[in-house]
């Protein structure tokens, strides 16, 4: 073995030992998920300071030696100078300088480890404080919710009203619980309610307080308040999202009795009103329904006004009864508009309505009154099968029917004739011209 090969063999041996040492370090198992003390939960395990300092010193030494070997190999493995004899003053000075640099490096590593641990402990304490605050907030919200729910079950109308307002305030403060608050209010409206209602001399329903029905009159006011609270928290059409008192909620009012409901110009996530009964006029002027809408087998005793409404998904009115007018002027359905087996009476206005995908479906529908389908966009499937099985009373008149449909007697038949648009009388501008902003 030549003298030139000895330094090279020495460095190769050192490199091999470093690789082995790195393998051992990798296999060291500390409690928690890593040597730095971070378990899967995200909170650090408080290992001793000495163990952390020694670990980082060892890693620093290994990293330094590895860099030196890498640089030496990158430079073509030059021969390392060897000394013989006694050390000169310059050699002693170099040794002292290197020793001081090593001590400074060790001190820097210790300072970094201490600062790192302190910062991690501060962050951990902050996370724990936030988690504790969240648990406390949830506990307080739950207590408030329980108290409001108990008030809603009271037999006194004033206490029920207080429960409604408590739910409104709770929903304003508790963002993640807004849907739950809305569900409680909707559940209250779904509870049985028989009045006070009476019939007018003309057969039109009038909202009136029956004589001697004080409890019914009080419940009437409680329900009106519940409807107004829901309406006040739905986002307004055309406003920015995320307003403080704006709730993005779904409404389930299946089977409910609703009185003069007005949700005009509101943005509604989804709405389910199957088998519900609407007393008085119902207003959805310019409203936007973001998800499926269900008014299956629903009864509208007054006018049902959906003028300028937008249905982003399916609009289901199958089996519904709109006895005193149905207004869908310039309504927009992104998917099918389903009116099969529906009963439409009074003034039925679909002037300018449209379906983007799918079609209008009036299969087996029954009409009684004046119909206006002028300038309707019948959708991608056309109007070939729109009125199959539909019927009308003798007093029904229709304008704007699409080819090939016409009204003959009390039946809709296919003929080669198109209906001309009849001019509108202009009565009741709110029914036919909503204040909704254009899409």
In order along its 439 residues, the chain shows pLDDT tens digits of 555 555 455 545 544 554 454 455 445 443 433 444 444 444 444 556 667 667 766 776 776 667 666 665 666 666 656 555 565 777 667 766 766 676 677 677 777 777 877 888 788 888 888 887 787 878 898 899 999 999 999 999 999 999 999 999 999 999 999 999 999 999 999 998 876 654 443 434 445 444 345 677 888 899 999 999 999 999 998 876 656 788 999 999 999 999 999 999 999 999 999 999 999 999 999 999 999 999 999 999 999 999 999 999 989 999 999 989 999 999 999 988 999 999 999 999 999 999 988 888 999 999 999 999 999 988 777 777 789 999 999 888 889 988 888 888 888 988 754 444 333 333 444 444 444 444 4
Rg (CA), the chain: 39
134 occurs within a structural domain: no
pLDDT at 264: 96
Domain that residue 310 falls in: 186-432
50 occurs within a structural domain: no
101 occurs within a structural domain: no
Q: Are 171 and 247 in contact (CB under 8 A)?
A: yes
Residue 367 forms beta bridges with which residues? 344, 392
Provide the phi-psi class of 368: left if phi over 0, else alpha when psi is between -120 and 50, else beta.
beta
CA distances in angstroms from 373 to 359, 378, 438, listed in the order given: 14, 10, 21
pLDDT at 320: 96
Burial class (CB in 10 A: 0-12, 13-18, 19+), 42: exposed
Residue 111: CB partners within 8 Å, gap ≥ 6? none
Q: Where are the beta strands (DSSP E) in 318-427?
A: 321-322, 326-327, 332-333, 337-338, 343-349, 354-355, 360-361, 366-372, 391-392, 397-399, 405-408, 411-414
CA pair distance 147, 152, nearest whole angstrom = 9
CA pair distance 208, 154, nearest whole angstrom = 24
Task: Please tell me whether the overall predicted TM-score, pTM, comes out greater than 0.75 for this model.
Answer: no
122 occurs within a structural domain: no
CA pair distance 166, 226, nearest whole angstrom = 12
The dihedral through the CA atoms of 64, 69, 74, 79 has a sign that is: positive
120 occurs within a structural domain: no
Question: Count of domains in the chain?
Answer: 1
CA pair distance 103, 16, nearest whole angstrom = 26
CA pair distance 252, 320, nearest whole angstrom = 17
7 occurs within a structural domain: no
CA pair distance 231, 168, nearest whole angstrom = 11
CA angle 203, 208, 209 (to 5 degrees): 140
CA pair distance 432, 305, nearest whole angstrom = 9
Structure tokens at 313: 């998904």
181 occurs within a structural domain: no
32 occurs within a structural domain: no
């Amino acid at each position: 073995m030549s003298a030139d090969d000895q330094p090279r063999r020495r460095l190769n041996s050192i490199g091999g030992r470093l690789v082995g040492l790195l393998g051992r370090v990798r296999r060291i198992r500390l409690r928690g998920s890593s040597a730095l003390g971070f378990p899967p939960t995200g909170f650090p395990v408080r290992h001793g300071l000495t163990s952390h300092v020694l670990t980082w010193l060892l890693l620093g030494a290994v990293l330094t030696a590895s860099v030196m070997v890498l640089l030496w190999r990158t430079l073509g493995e030059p021969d390392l100078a060897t000394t013989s004899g006694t050390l000169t003053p310059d050699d002693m000075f170099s040794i002292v300088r290197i020793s001081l640099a090593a001590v400074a490096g060790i001190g820097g590593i210790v300072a970094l480890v201490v600062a790192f641990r302190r910062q991690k402990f501060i962050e951990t304490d902050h996370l724990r404080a936030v988690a504790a605050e969240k648990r406390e907030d949830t506990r307080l919200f739950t207590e408030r919710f329980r108290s409001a729910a108990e008030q809603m079950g009271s037999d006194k109308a004033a206490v029920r009203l207080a429960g409604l307002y408590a739910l409104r305030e709770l929903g304003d403060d508790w963002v993640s619980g807004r849907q739950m608050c809305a569900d409680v209010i909707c559940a209250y409206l779904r509870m049985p309610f028989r009045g006070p209602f009476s019939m007018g001399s003309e057969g039109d329903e009038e909202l009136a307080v029956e004589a001697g029905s004080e409890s019914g009159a009080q419940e009437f006011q409680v329900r009106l308040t519940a409807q107004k609270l829901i309406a006040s928290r739905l986002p307004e059409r055309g406003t920015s999202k995320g307003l403080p008192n704006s709730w993005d909620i779904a409404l389930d009012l299946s089977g409910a009795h609703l009185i003069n409901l007005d949700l005009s110009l509101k943005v509604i996530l989804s709405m389910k009103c199957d088998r519900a009964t609407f007393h008085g006029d119902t207003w959805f002027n310019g409203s936007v329904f973001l998800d499926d809408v269900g008014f299956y087998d629903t009864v509208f005793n007054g006018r049902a006004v959906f003028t300028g409404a937008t249905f982003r998904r399916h609009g289901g009115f199958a089996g519904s009864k709109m006895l005193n007018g149905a207004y869908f002027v310039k309504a927009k359905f992104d998917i099918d508009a389903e009116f099969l087996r529906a009963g439409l009476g009074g003034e039925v206005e679909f002037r300018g309505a449209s379906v983007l995908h799918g079609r209008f479906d009036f299969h087996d529908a029954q009409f009684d009154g004046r119909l206006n389908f002028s300038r309707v966009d019948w959708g991608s499937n056309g109007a070939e099968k729109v009125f199959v099985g539909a019927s009308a009373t003798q007093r029904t008149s229709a304008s704007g029917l699409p080819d090939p449909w016409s009204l003959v007697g009390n039946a809709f038949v296919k003929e080669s004739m198109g209906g001309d648009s009849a001019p509108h009388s202009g009565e009741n501008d709110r029914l036919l011209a909503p204040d909704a902003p254009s899409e």
